[in-house]
Amino acid sequence: MTHAHRSLHAPHGILPPHILRHLAHHGDDDARTVAIDTLIATERFRGERQAVGDALRDVPAGVKRRTLYDAGHVQRLPGKLVRGENDPPTHDEAVNQAFEGLGATYDFYEEAMKRKSIDDRGERLDASVHYGRRYDNAFWNGRQMVFGDGDGKLFQGFTGCLEVIGHELTHGVIETEAALVYSDQSGALNESFADVLGIQVKQWKLRQRSSEASWLLGEGLLAKGVKGVALRSMKAPGTAYDDPRLGKDPQPATMKGFVHTEEDNGGVHVNSGIPNHAFYLAAVKLGGYAWEKAGPIWYHALCNTLSRRSDFAGAARATMMSALALFGASTEAVVRAAWAEVGVSPG
């Protein structure tokens, strides 16, 4: 049994990978050779299948094209196709909420930021709902959005929160533009820009002025009985929740509270409170709707000045430059003051 092309049929699932791995480690010479060949073939098979899928998915639609899948409560993507762009609503609320949220985000970027989808080339928007069992998260995996149903104890379903959908799709925008590295200060900026643009999707949809918006990220996401109102507050970082099971919202509002940690890629979801608050301060001071002045300034900086390793000081410089370029010196002064209030100097 030393024939190089013999296979244990793993590509068709006859022998599961853990048995193949066991054989590769512990089998006799012949069994090891076949097991290793089969594992390599399996990986190659998976790679080809992925490549075919990627090639199909990477064709930009050029227009708004949403495709919704049902992951069926397992952690395998994308799942079963349940709604395309021209299909009527389904009986599944999560599917319809996700569909509407993707649409609102697409429309926000097109109308308010003059951007055509995530890649600015009309990338199609794919999403899967009902991912995993009681999965309490939502994420963008570089190709599509993924929504869990929540555990029902701490979190409700993630499709009901428009700013969360805006936040996740903005991670795709960030990836296309500054590609901020997802750790430490550049990672906290990555999170903050996702919050800044995500919250604007909601405010834009609801036609809320900066002065009247809640500035809460993940509003309504916490389950009944949890002591809190959202995941984060851009208006008052550190006040979104204080619950025996969740703990207290750890976000700082200023550099005095900056958290040094190795967890969460260097506290990207914690220290994002600082640039989040700077945006809030600038938006409220500039008045009107966030997507009219403050939003375009931050978006312009993201697309034109920021780079992979930018830090908070770099973001302050970039947004001040954008403010000056787009609206003039008085607006630049407002942006400078907002960063100064959270303890960030442009250097």
Q: Is 269 a catalytic residue?
A: yes
User: For 122-159, what is the HEC assignment?
Assistant: CCCEEEEECCCCCCCCEEECCCCEEECCCCCCCECCHH
Nearer to another protein, 83 or 130 (CB): 130
What is the DSSP code (8-state) at residue 232? E
d(CA 281, CA 291): 14
Please provide the DSSP assignment of 268-331 as one string. Answer: HHHHTHHHHHHHHHHHHHH-S-TTTTHHHHHHHHHHHT--TT--HHHHHHHHHHHHHHHH-HHH
Nearer to another protein, 159 or 331 (CB): 159
Of 273, 116, 98, give the one whose Cα is nearest residue 188: 273
Q: How far is the CB of 23 from another protein (least distance, A)?
A: 12
Binding site for another protein (CB under 8 A): 16-18, 21-22, 25, 74-76, 132-134, 136-142, 155, 158, 164, 167-168, 171, 181-183, 187, 190-191, 194, 218, 231, 246-247, 263-265, 267-270
Pick the catalytic residue: 168, 191, 219, 332?
168
CA angle 35, 41, 43 (to 5 degrees): 105
Nearer to another protein, 138 or 334 (CB): 138
Q: How far is the CB of 76 from another protein (least distance, A)?
A: 6
Pick the catalytic residue: 269, 277, 300, 332?
269
Q: How far is the CB of 137 from another protein (least distance, A)?
A: 4
Nearer to another protein, 49 or 114 (CB): 49
Token look-up 């809640």 returns: 214
First vs last C-alpha separation in the chain: 68
Q: How far is the CB of 276 from another protein (least distance, A)?
A: 12
Nearer to another protein, 195 or 332 (CB): 195
Q: How far is the CB of 125 from another protein (least distance, A)?
A: 17
d(CA 185, CA 60): 32
Asked whether 156 and 150 are in contact (CB, 8 A), the reply is: yes
Q: Which residues are catalytic?
A: 168, 269
